[in-house]
Amino acid sequence: MLDLADLSSGYGETQVLHGLTLRAEPGRVLAILGRNGAGKSTTLKTIMGLLPAKGGSVSFDGKTISGMTPFDIAKLGIAYVPETRDIFRSLSVRENL
Ligand SMILES: Nc1ncnc2c1ncn2[C@@H]1O[C@H](COP(=O)(O)OP(=O)(O)O)[C@@H](O)[C@H]1O
Ligand SMILES: [Mg+2]
């Protein structure tokens, strides 16, 4: 279970997420919809620890993960697949996934 509680995040002085709360439950698919620039990628980057949470928290299976490094968050089984072409060219599609 992935829980976002009153999460705030952004870039420098620019705040993008203003108190986002949502829960992703095991065995279910959750889609976040929004226009370009709405904050979808910012949400994912904050979950992954690529951006620091300015307020609120991210927890996974009851353990707070906000503040952990992306490396340690990845070890918990959480992965971020960017929309850009940030892939490993030498790996297959399966290996990249
Ligand atoms: N690296 C960045 N520095 C400053 N502002 C950014 C950066 N990346 C995104 N933003 C801004 O944050 C807001 C949310 O962007 P983003 O999360 O990428 O939206 P989405 O993924 O929903 O299209 C937008 O206003 C965007 O311009
Ligand atoms: Mg995006």
pLDDT value at 1 more than 80 = yes
| Model pLDDT, residue 83 | 81
Domain ranges of the chain: 2-96
Q: Taking CA 53 as the corner, what is the angle to CA 85 and CA 79, rounded to the nearest 5 degrees?
A: 40
Instruction: List, for residues 54-76, the tens digit of each pLDDT value.
Output: 999 999 999 999 999 999 999 99
Cβ atoms of residues 16 and 37 within 8 Å: no
Which ligand ends up closest to the CA of 33? 1
Instruction: List, for residues 2-59, the tens digit of each pLDDT value.
Output: 999 999 999 999 999 999 999 999 999 999 999 999 999 999 999 999 999 999 999 9
pLDDT value at 88 more than 90 = no
Helices (H), 1-97: 40-48, 70-75, 93-96
For ligand 1, atom 6, the nearest C-alpha belongs to 11
Distance 61 CA to ligand 2 centre (A): 26
pLDDT value at 86 more than 80 = no
At the second CATH level, the architecture of 2-96 is: 3-Layer(aba) Sandwich (3.40)
